[in-house]
Amino acid sequence: AHGKKRTAVCQPLMRLSENDVNETPTPSLGSSRDDPRRLQETPTTGQMTSTRGTDTDIDVTGSPRATLSSGAHADGTREVVESSKELPWASVIDEMIESPQIELLGSLVVLLSSFCVAVSTVDNLDYSLLDVLNSVENGISILFLGEFILRWYANFFVKGFLTQPLILIDFVVVVLPFFLPMIASNMPVLGATLPPWLAGKSGLINLRLLRILRLQRVLLNMENFSKFQQALGVNTDEGSVKEYQLRLARVVLSVFTLVSISTGLILTTERGVNPNISTYFDGLYFGLTSLTTVGFGDITPVTAEGRLVVCCSILAGVAIIPAQAGALVEALLQRDQEKQKQQELKARSENGNVNQINSSGSPPIQPRDGMLDTRTPCPTCGATFHWSDAEFCWSCGNHL
């Protein structure tokens, strides 16, 4: 009903040799007209017969919403039953949260969250403004948690849903920032077992800055990127999104993500110890100068953890950025080749193909201004149908 193709699946319970497969008789549907929903397999012949049961369907796009069950009968046969399971309104919720508008709104909220975290680190900030920033952050945390719960609800019976990379990222950057402060304040015994870098304020800042990783879902593939651009009102025509645009967006987002994460880690390790790094913007300045140049020397890390963060950030930049840039260059070269082919085809179409003759024996006529001379033949080959202002023959190329 929601555009997802489904097909009946019956998984064999025994491995057959090649000879057995060739000799296996055609499956007998029996009473499958009444309810072709459950197939059972006899262990001797491999013949499929129909029995009544639940529906057997699975999402062929890779997101099955069903579970397998099997049972044995007294006559030695075994049956495979795959029952489709889906919570109420799950498909509607899944379609809603996967819409381009929701993805665009989520991206904007991520950027707003990063901005609020950065501003909240400024020293001597007015208490009223700090309360507003904290309220906005709490509201964003509740919003992200609600989205995570809805995604989980919509894919409750999908095997391996919680182990997907993007879902694990959501768990780290959405669930943990919401529950860690509650655990630290309401459960002091359990909060004491958490490491200081995770339970403290700096750890909360890092987790909230890691929300920038959620933007990766927009650039997951061409389809998601196309939907995102359509939500922005850019390239609304289907097929107008090019691969080089996706590659360029990935390079920009990789640099932005690397700088944002390294800034948060540097701030966590140096804040309170290094007087030169006390706010997010100090860490941002140091991170940019460290990743793009050898550094100006006005700010240096003083802790071992800070030096380790700098080293890891530089190594990550060396490993990630050139790979993304190489893919971008390859996509740009491919775009230039496509443009060149299109220009060649256009030139051939405009000039006309002198070697092709239509069914009436005359050359293909291209739309243009002027008159066709059907009487005067070429003195060399005798071809007619030349334009009145033509100087050369369309057939042999000699001067008229």
> What does the pLDDT look like over 16-49, one tens digit per residue?
444 444 444 444 444 333 443 444 444 444 444 3
d(CA 277, CA 271): 6
State which H helix or E strand residue 50 sits in. Answer: strand 48-51
Tokens of 364: 């293909």
- What are the start-end ranges of the H helices in the chain? 18-23, 90-97, 100-120, 127-154, 165-170, 176-186, 188-192, 196-199, 201-209, 222-232, 243-270, 280-292, 304-351
Q: Which residues contact 71 (CB under 8 A, 6 or more apart)?
A: 78, 79, 81
Per-residue pLDDT tens digits for 372-391: 676 678 888 888 877 777 88
DSSP state of 122: S
How many beta carbons lie within 10 A of that of residue 145, not counting itself? 16
d(CA 236, CA 232): 9
Domains of the chain: 6-84 (no CATH), 88-239 (1.20.120.350), 242-338 (1.10.287.70), 371-400 (no CATH)
Q: Which residues contact 261 (CB under 8 A, 6 or more apart)?
A: 209, 210, 212
Q: What angle do CA 25, 31, 32 make, to 5 degrees?
A: 80
Q: Which of 53-57, 104-108, 231-235 has the highest mean pLDDT?
A: 104-108
Tokens of 272: 């309170």
d(CA 368, CA 382): 23
Give the three-class secondary structure for 79: strand
- Give this prediction's pTM: 0.58
Q: Is the pLDDT of residue 71 over 50?
A: no
The arithmetic mean of pLDDT across residues 64-73, rounded, is 42
Q: DSSP string covering 185-249, please? A: HH-HHHHHTS-HHHHSHHHHHHHHHGGGGGGGGGGSSHHHHHHHHHHHTSS-STT---HHHHHHH
Give percent of the chain with pLDDT exceeding 90.
Answer: 1
At 132, the pLDDT band (50, 70, 90 cuts) reads very high
d(CA 391, CA 400): 5
